[in-house]
Amino acid sequence: MFENLTNKFEEIFSSLKKAPSLDEKQVDEGLKGIRLALLEADVSLDVVKEFISRVKPKALGQEIIRSTSPGDMVVKIVYDEIVSFLGDKNSEISLNAVPPVPIMLVGLQGSGKTTTTSKLAKFLEKNNKKKVMMASLDVYRPAAQEQLRILGEQNNIETLPIIEGQLPADICRRALSAANLNGCEVVLFDTAGRTQIDFQMMNEIKQIETIINPAETILVADSLTGQVAANVAKEFKNTVNLSGIILTRADGDGRGGAALSMKYVAEVPIKFLGVGEKIENFEVFHPDRIANRILGMGDIVSLVEKASEDLDQENLKKTEEKLKKGQFSMEDYLSQLRQMKKMGGIEGIMSFLPGVSKIKSQMDQSGIDEKIITQNEAVILSMTKQERENPKIINGSRKKRIANGSGTDIATINKLLKQFKMMSEMMKKMSKGNMKGMADKGIPPELFNQLK
């Protein structure tokens, strides 16, 4: 599905990688190529714009890590963004409900619902060790229920016996009680194909949803339809409580637009890919592996990852030494903030000090906001070198300048300076060996409130 995109990326990066350094013009040139490649892959325009606007500042402002080249760094930046657009991590099917757990599959006509129902049933039996029953609610297309029954018979999956003339609502209730009686832990509901413009059919899935109260409602979408698939998902999401997507025909020559647009446009994760007509042609959707497939540069990505881990270690060591000497500057605070952001929490700042689990859990619970970390980063970046080394010199007019530069206000600057003061006092205490007290009691409440 991604071959074209992969080829385009390879072309773009082969010239970028050779450059010993990258200036804005070269980065712009590269981004232009990426933009075109994404549009050609039928990624939606909004997604392309957002993608470029996230990559650009990172590519320009990158700190080159020793032992990697600027081009490699850009590969890594693009890779990270692709992963984030595909969905960060793999999203499993949620079976968190009292069995029999109802799961509903919906989608446009011919998108692959019935085939996918049997694939998912087989998957859950094999991987989750669940006994599954399948029930068809398609009473409209002749022989639709029979199609599912045959798939069940061929693959040894239980199906709800067909009663001619029964309406979907009644089939739902019958399926749930039959599953209960037969000890089936999951019931998959295959629904009739519908178009978003068919008001009556869209209303029917709402009704079915109310009756079965599904733990998951999965949209089965055809990847050949590109960004349209993402728009369809958005429409379905407005009708039912959509929890995930299965993209079918990923074995076809779709161009990747569906996969890349889905999460941003419809805010629903892709959970599986259908990669052929057979029951075993079904894969868990792993954003990182797909991103690797798209970029075809997994070795570079892991090289840069390794190098940045080394860099983090170096930074930590430096900070630790400074702490021992009782020095802690705004510069250190900045590097700690960045570390924290990367580690997704404030515990990064404590992680190199032993015995602080109490503090860590306190921090975990508080859910200190990443936005505030980013804001603080902007404030510190607007300070001069002198100010960072010696924040005491920051007077009224300097505060005004920093506030303007960082797009914040004086109150924010004051708050940060106060935080910094408390943090450096705490660091001093900790480095003098009062750590144990702090580890037992947790962070002083004043500092804690400041950080929030």
- Residues in contact with Mg ion by the rule CB under 5 A: 113-114
Nearer to ligand GTP, 91 or 114 (CB): 114
Q: Which of 85, 147, 87 is nearest to 116 (CA)?
A: 147
Q: Kindly indicate which of the ranges 76-84, 107-115, 164-172, 413-421 contains the residues binding ligand GTP, using the contact rule CB under 6 A.
A: 107-115
Q: Which helix (H) or strand (E) holds 71?
A: helix 70-86
What does the block give as tokens for 20?
A: 């010993």
**What is the nearest approach in angstroms of ligand GTP to the Cβ of residue 249?**
4
The Cα–Cα gap between 61 and 50 comes to 17
Nearer to Mg ion, 34 or 245 (CB): 245
171 touching ligand GTP, by CB under 6 A:
no
Q: Kindly indicate which of the ranges 57-65, 272-280, 302-310, 413-421 contains the residues binding ligand GTP, using the contact rule CB under 6 A.
A: 272-280
What does the block give as tokens for 265?
A: 């446009």
Nearer to ligand GTP, 72 or 204 (CB): 204
The Cα–Cα gap between 271 and 103 comes to 14
Report the residue from 6, 44, 68, 115 that binds ligand GTP according to the rule CB under 6 A. 115
Cross-sheet strand order for the sheet of 244-248? 158-159, 132-136, 186-190, 101-106, 216-222, 244-248, 270-274, 282-284
275 touching ligand GTP, by CB under 6 A:
yes
**What is the nearest approach in angstroms of ligand GTP to the Cβ of residue 139?**
11
Nearer to ligand GTP, 130 or 249 (CB): 249
Work out what residue 115 binds among ligand GTP, Mg ion, none; the CB cut-off runs from 5 to 8 Å by kind.
ligand GTP
Relative to beta strand 244-248, strand 270-274 is parallel
Please report, for residues 160, 175, 187, the alpha-carbon distance to residue 183 in angstroms, rounded to integers and kept in the order given: 13, 12, 11
The Cα–Cα gap between 199 and 334 comes to 55
Q: Which of 272, 192, 273, 207 is nearest to 240 (CA)?
A: 207
C-beta of residue 388 within 8 angstroms of C-beta of residue 380: yes
251 touching ligand GTP, by CB under 6 A:
yes
Nearer to Mg ion, 120 or 363 (CB): 120
Work out what residue 251 binds among Mg ion, ligand GTP, none; the CB cut-off runs from 5 to 8 Å by kind.
ligand GTP
Report the residue from 32, 89, 126, 141 that binds ligand GTP according to the rule CB under 6 A. 141
| Strands in 57-119 per DSSP E | 101-106
112 touching ligand GTP, by CB under 6 A:
yes
274 touching ligand GTP, by CB under 6 A:
yes
Report the residue from 249, 255, 338, 415 that binds ligand GTP according to the rule CB under 6 A. 249
Q: Kindly indicate which of the ranges 110-118, 210-218, 228-236, 411-419 contains the residues binding ligand GTP, using the contact rule CB under 6 A.
A: 110-118
Report the residue from 42, 72, 80, 138 that binds ligand GTP according to the rule CB under 6 A. 138
Report the residue from 8, 76, 113, 338 that binds ligand GTP according to the rule CB under 6 A. 113
C-beta of residue 294 within 8 angstroms of C-beta of residue 401: no
Nearer to ligand GTP, 246 or 359 (CB): 246
What does the block give as tokens for 433?
A: 């060996």
C-beta of residue 229 within 8 angstroms of C-beta of residue 236: no
**What is the nearest approach in angstroms of Mg ion to the Cβ of residue 223?**
17
Q: What residue ranges bind ligand GTP (CB under 6 A)? A: 107, 109-115, 138, 141, 144, 193, 248-249, 251-252, 274-277, 281
